[in-house]
Amino acid sequence: MNNTIIDTSALEQEITWLTNVCERRFESYFQHNEQDVDLSELCPAPKLDPAQSPYAKVVSDYSFGFSERIVLMLALMPHIRPQVLDLFSLQNAALGRAYSEIGGWRGKSHIGFLPTCETASFILAGSNLSKRFAVARLFKEGHTLIRNGIIKLDQQASGEPIFSATLQLSHEFLQLLADGEVHKPDFSANFPAKLMQTQLSWSDLVLNPEVMDEVNNIVTWLRQPQEILRNWGLEKSLKPGYRAMFYGPPGTGKTLTASLIGKALALDVYRIDLSMVVSKYIGETEKNLAGVFDQAQNKNWILFFDEADSLFGKRNQASSSNDRHANQEISYLLQRVEDFPGVVILATNLKANIDAAFARRFQSEVYFAMPDAIQRERLWKGLFANTDKLDKDVNFREIAERYELAGGALLNVARYAAIRAVKNQRNLITQDDLLAGIGRELMKDGKTL
């Protein structure tokens, strides 16, 4: 737990400055005295020391100017000082409603004012049309505020004016400003993805040389993507990002390989929980996916879709509204995957179930085959590195040659054998323990020893 006390003096200074700017705008606007009003000169932004606080460091690191700081503070105020925005809750007495030029909205439980792009435009531009167009550039995808995921724009309904979008400070940056640390997103309904981590290493992964070569190609790309694009003049022809499909029987190392790629390159690997993504309600699946891709857009993450055929399946002939809806989901997903600048790995047991349009866009298709007898023996020995805990009757070569099992199944056998030994109050695992565990795994496929 971080017990560091954050210096809030820079934020207090910035809040005072924002309040002065807002009051000046209201004064000049409602007194019809906007001629030659330049708020950046009347209320210059205070100078901040980057070492003073997380907020000051963010402003310095991104070289934020007057306009960016106003937008950032507007988005931050509902979280730390909501009463600062009470000024914006004015009612137009003649119309009996809020002023449309001020924008803003109210949440379901929050009773204070919540700013929109219109609010930022009102403060920065007033009724000056040319300045309003300049403000619009702050909300383009390429701008630092949006590109780096600092500010998120949420359009409440389709077809509404662009400036009606709500100004939301990302949860990540809110935490950064609160305690100075960058937090990894937590698994939730808004972020249906779990961070994958492993204590294993490449030496624990047993794959064919051809498969390892494909995996190394992915690692090489991830280590120096920009260098590869620039050196060979491929920037104009190739989109950034990398898309790979891992396919093959269950338990053959697809998930572990994705985890190890991330571990080798110090990249976070997030496993998408498809049960929380896919929805029977029209538009909900796309919305859930958009939330994941939007949060990952500017992060150096690997997105891992396990059992991907449930989401990336083949499109059907559109004979019903449900078919059209499903096809629409796949088309949307195809576009997001293709445009994603990071790494997407799909894992499936059945490659034939994946829509061909996705397959054509993969840079790698890696087949994870069932391990042969030699590989199975290596896996057995890797699982039981502590041979002092094995009875002398254990013969890994024999069981490796006799029973065809994937690495995932071997893990289940090892767990069961250890439990069986403890239950029978023995300090050693015997061949019988292993065979009992193997029998249980074979029964899952309707087989016997």
- CATH number of the structural domain spanning residue 439: 1.10.8.60
From residue 70, how far is each of 75, 90, 120, 174, 321 by CA, in Å? 9, 20, 7, 16, 46
* Domain endpoint, select from 367, 393, 421: 367
| Residue 184 falls inside a structural domain | no
Residue with tokens 């724009």: 153
Strand partners, 348: 247
59 with 113, same domain?
A: yes
pLDDT at position 187, please? 67
Comparing C-alpha atoms, which of 270, 277, 256, 278 is closest to residue 299?
Answer: 270
Residues 99, 211 share a domain? no
Q: Is residue 187, in this structure, part of any structural domain at all?
A: no
pLDDT of residue 175: 83
Per-residue pLDDT of the chain (449 residues; tens, 9 = 90+): 455 567 788 899 999 999 999 999 999 888 876 666 789 999 999 999 988 888 999 999 999 999 999 999 999 999 999 999 999 998 888 888 888 999 998 888 888 999 999 999 999 999 899 999 999 999 998 899 988 888 988 887 778 899 999 999 988 888 888 777 766 776 666 678 889 999 999 988 999 999 999 999 999 988 888 888 888 887 778 877 889 999 999 999 999 999 999 999 999 999 988 777 776 666 677 777 777 888 787 788 899 988 887 777 665 555 555 555 556 667 777 788 888 888 999 998 888 878 777 777 788 899 999 999 999 999 999 998 888 899 999 999 999 999 999 999 999 999 999 999 999 999 999 999 999 999 999 998 888 77
Angle between helical axes of 117-125 and 66-80 (0-180°, round to 10): 130
Which residues lie closer than 8 Å to 323 by C-beta, 6 or more apart?
Answer: 316, 317
pLDDT at position 416: 95
Same domain, 238 and 133: no
Query: How many CB atoms neighbour CB 238 within 10 A?
Result: 13
What is the token pair recorded at 208? 């064919």
284 and 247 within one domain: yes
Give me 397's structure tokens: 């070569």
What does the buried/exposed string (b/e) look like for 3-34 if buried means 16 or more CB atoms within 10 Å of the residue's CB? eeebbbebbebbbebbbebbeebbebbeeeee
Instruction: Specify whether 76 is located in the same domain as 197.
Output: no
Residues 155, 200 within the same domain: no
Quick one: 205 and 262 in the same domain?
yes
- The residue type of 353 is N
CATH of the domain at 251: 3.40.50.300
Residue 2 lies inside a defined structural domain of this protein: no
Q: How many residues does the chain have?
A: 449
Per-residue confidence (pLDDT) for residue 1, from 0 to 100: 46
Given 367, 393, 412, the domain boundary residue is 367
Closest by alpha carbon to 191, among 301, 350, 45, 322?
301
At residue 324, the pLDDT reads 59
Q: What's the domain count of the chain?
A: 3
The predicted pLDDT at position 226 comes to 81
Is there a single domain that holds both residue 91 and residue 118? yes
The verdict on residue 186 lying in a domain is: no
Q: Are 394 and 434 a contacting pair, CB within 8 Å?
A: yes
Cα 252 from Cα 408, distance rounded (Å): 7
pTM equals 0.72
Q: Which two tokens stand for residue 327?
A: 């096809």
Assess whether 92 and 207 both reside in one domain.
no
Same domain, 355 and 391: no
3 within some domain: no
pLDDT of the residue at 2 = 53
What is the per-residue pLDDT for 288?
75
Burial-class residue 445 by CB neighbours within 10 Å (0-12, 13-18, 19+). Answer: exposed
Final residue belonging to a domain, choices 341, 367, 393: 367
Four-point Cα dihedral 439, 441, 444, 446, nearest 10: -40
In a domain, 169, yes or no: yes
377 is a domain residue: yes
230 and 88 share one domain = no
CB 140 within 8 A of CB 120: no
Residue 399 lies in a domain: yes
Boundaries of domain holding 13: 9-179
Whether 19 and 155 map to the same domain: the answer is yes
Residues 100 and 235: their CA atoms lie apart, in Å, by: 44
